[in-house]
Amino acid sequence: MKDLQGNSRVRNDKLLEAKDQIVYLFFKVEKNNSGVEKIVLEDKKIMEGRLKSKPSFDRNSAKTGDFIISLNDANGKEIVKQIVGDPLNPELERFDEEGMSRNKVSLQNAEFSVRYSHSEEIKVVRVEKVTTDGSQLLFTQKL
């Protein structure tokens, strides 16, 4: 009893909210026989910590097949936006006698994740795929 009363601190939710936190969202994407992608939010983890830098978003740097992740408030206002390179067609580096080369690999399913600084405002995640005609909404879910 002495140890519990003397040295330990009881954390309440209010104290935890005040600390810097990073949220990780883990997704799985599968391509069916028709070529249509299906995305599932598999897990969400919140860890103590602070991002060293905020990812910058440049729509012009997105290539066809890349995913645009939007984190919005309850009213649909965008809070954070990130680009994830096409997880179903990753570019892998290969080293051999001739040197280094890059090859694209086509996958039927893959996993990807995003991270962001925790904010009580963020309530919805949206995933769009960059297409030659603009973008296509693949996934929306409340957090």
80 pLDDT higher than 70: yes
| Higher pLDDT, residue 59 or 141 | 141
Whole-number Cα distances in Å, 23 to 27, 35, 46, 54: 13, 30, 5, 13
Consecutive H or E run containing 6: helix 2-6
Residue 100 confidence class, pLDDT cut points 50, 70, 90: confident
